[in-house]
Every structure is written in C-alpha cells, then in structure tokens.
Amino acid sequence: MVTLNDIATRLGISKSTVSKGLNNASDVSEELRRRILETAAEMGYVGVRPQKKFCIFVENMGYTDPNQFGYDIIAGFKEMAGSDGWMVDVVPLTKEYQSTITYQEAIAQGSWRGAFLLGFSLLDPWMEELRTTQVPTVLYDNYIKENPRIASVRCDNSGGLEAAVRHLYDLGHRRIALLCGPLDSYVVRERYNAYCAAMEKCGLPVDEDLIGLEYYVAESARKYLPRFIENGATAILCADDARAIAVYTECRDRCLRIPADVSIVGFDDLPMAAYMNPPLTTIRQDRTALGKCGYYTLSCLINDVAIDTIQLRAPLIVRGSTGPVPQQEGAEPSEEEASL
C-alpha cells in the first residue's frame, strides 16, 4: 500500500506538503499540487484512511428537478448508499474539465472509493482512460467490454423499442419515424439500432427520411416534424420524453392532433408524462431502481464481484398519445385491409 511518505520520497518533498497538495491547501502552488496528484495517481495511492465516499459524475443530464432524468437515479443511489453508511458527492462534469485532469487524479482528489457515471458520451475525454482504469466505476447506459473494474447499469432498450414499434404496428401504423440525439452516445446508438431491428421484425423498411438525429431538443422537433409529416409519417418515436414534449409543442403550433393525426411515443416515463395532454405513451425506465442497482453494482465491484451488466426491464406504458392510424382520404384500402 502506497503511503504519503512514499510519494514524498519520490518527489523529494516533505510528507506534510504531499498531504497539503492532496487536500488542495492554498499554500501549495498549482504546479506542485499537479505533480503531487499525478505522482499519487501513478503510484496507485488510494488515501490514508479510505473514507466510505462515492462520487456520482453527471454530464448531459439534468438532475435537480424531479422531472429531469437524473433526479430519481441519484435519489435511488443515495437512498441505498446512505443506509449502508456511504457518503455520496454529486459532481456535474464537462468535457473541458475532463481535459484538465485525468479520471484517476479526479478520483484521488475527491478521496472517492469509486464512481457512478451518468450521461457520458463516447466522445468524452475520460472514455479512453476508463478502458484501463483500476477505479471501481459503474456506467449508466454505456458499456466497456474489456475492463473488469467497470460495470454497466441499463434498461432493456431493445425490448422497450420493440414493444413500442409492435404497439404502433398493431394500431395500423406503417410509417413510423424516429427522433433522437446524435449517434455519439452509446445509448442513442442502442436505441437507433433497436428501432431499426424492431422495424425489420415487423417487416417495415427503415427509411432515412423518417429518422432525425439532432442534439438540441426543441430544434430537433422544429426541424424534423414537418419533414416526417411530408414523408408520410403517422407515428413518431422519440428517444426521450423531453423530445416528445417538444414534438407536442410543434404539433400544437401546426394544428396536428395527437393521436388523431399523429401518434407520439416517448422514452423514460418522466413524472410529467402521465400529466401531458394527451398523456404520453412511453417506455418506462425505472430511474429509482437504476440508481439503486448502480449502488449495488458499485458495492459489488469494490468487493471484487465482477458484475458486467445489470439490465432492467423497460415496459411500454400505453396512454393517450397513440391511436389507430389516421384514414387517408380517398386512399384505396390496402390488399391486407381489404381482405379483412
């Protein structure tokens, strides 16, 4: 076990300076503090008296309001961790910060024993380091295959989207659009692939004109809703509820009735989904359970139980935003319908 003395000897400074550097004391220069942190990380220093303290890093995700996706995840994690005597720090994160410090240095600086990472994208600077890190780390909806110190907690995206496409298909929809973020996030890629697979299972072609990939939520609805409608879409799958809300707004502005003119499906089942007008049909992610499983997984990892993945069910919650496909005026009944 590496001690403060070992680090002090390596750097040729006093033990108390090492301690000050690790604890962010103001009388240690930024440059020296950095060298101390780097050396401590390199030597595998894990702290004098390891505290029972975990970190939740959050990026690209709101978590301060109950209607934001991260809120219940963090609450679930904290509830379980608290009852086991763990402290939990929640740290919002940016790409910029990740460029200034390595993951291991950040962990050492916070004296955390492990971390739960929410909302990371595949382009994040720390992603490469995570492939080999020794820090027990749980990812929400991300997956790193090679490293047994990393585990994933996720929902069954594929099962959820398959149920949603099947539900729309059974209502007569054949032109089903997908609105989601860009493919630089693992979870968006998964949902995108799950949508394509589900369409194929129903014998429906995947049509590029019915797919919209765009980071900004309101903009994505504004840009793609008209395109989808022009291209014959009668139903829109949104890869998150926030996007579904934006689509509702655009529909209202264009006098499109939900579900008489267009059916909408969300993903997440945020608390407000049931109170929207009409109430939103959506795929539920049990966020409190995700948080609890995140804690369970992290506590397994620090006890050398190499969980790879915990996957939760993602059931479709059918509400008022989906209905039968609208009858096109003057449209010939298809052969299939005519034979009924």
Binding site for a second copy (CB under 8 A): 145, 148, 156, 159, 286, 289, 292-293, 296, 300, 305-313, 315
CB nearer to a second copy: pick between 144 and 217: 144
CB nearer to a second copy: pick between 21 and 114: 114
Using DSSP bridges, classify how beta strands 316-317 and 281-284 pair: parallel, antiparallel or unpaired.
antiparallel
- Cβ-based burial of 134 (10 A; exposed 0-12, middle 13-18, buried ≥19): exposed
CB nearer to a second copy: pick between 159 and 172: 159
Q: To the nearest whole angstrom, how small is the minimum distance from the Cβ of residue 309 to a second copy? A: 4
Q: To the nearest whole angstrom, how small is the minimum distance from the Cβ of residue 308 to a second copy? A: 5
Residue 112, both tokens: 């955390």
**Over 95-119, what HEC string results?**
HHHHHHCCHHHHHHHHCCCEEEEEC
Rounded Cα–Cα distance for residues 71 and 231 (Å): 37
Q: To the nearest whole angstrom, how small is the minimum distance from the Cβ of residue 42 to a second copy? A: 25
Rounded Cα–Cα distance for residues 259 and 140 (Å): 32
Cis peptide before 148 (omega within 30 of 0): no
**Hey, what amino acid is at 145?**
K
Q: To the nearest whole angstrom, how small is the minimum distance from the Cβ of residue 295 to a second copy? A: 11
CB nearer to a second copy: pick between 274 and 306: 306
Helix, strand, or coil (residue 123): coil
Of the candidates 21, 289, 337, 30, which has an alpha carbon nearest to the alpha carbon of residue 140?
A: 289
CB nearer to a second copy: pick between 202 and 312: 312
CB nearer to a second copy: pick between 259 and 294: 294
Rounded alpha-carbon distances, angstroms, from residue 105 to 55, 68, 126, 227: 13, 29, 11, 47
Q: To the nearest whole angstrom, how small is the minimum distance from the Cβ of residue 158 to a second copy? A: 10
Rounded Cα–Cα distance for residues 24 and 150 (Å): 28
Q: To the nearest whole angstrom, how small is the minimum distance from the Cβ of residue 289 to a second copy? A: 4
CB nearer to a second copy: pick between 171 and 300: 300
Place of tokens 């579904």: 244
Q: To the nearest whole angstrom, how small is the minimum distance from the Cβ of residue 61 to a second copy? A: 21
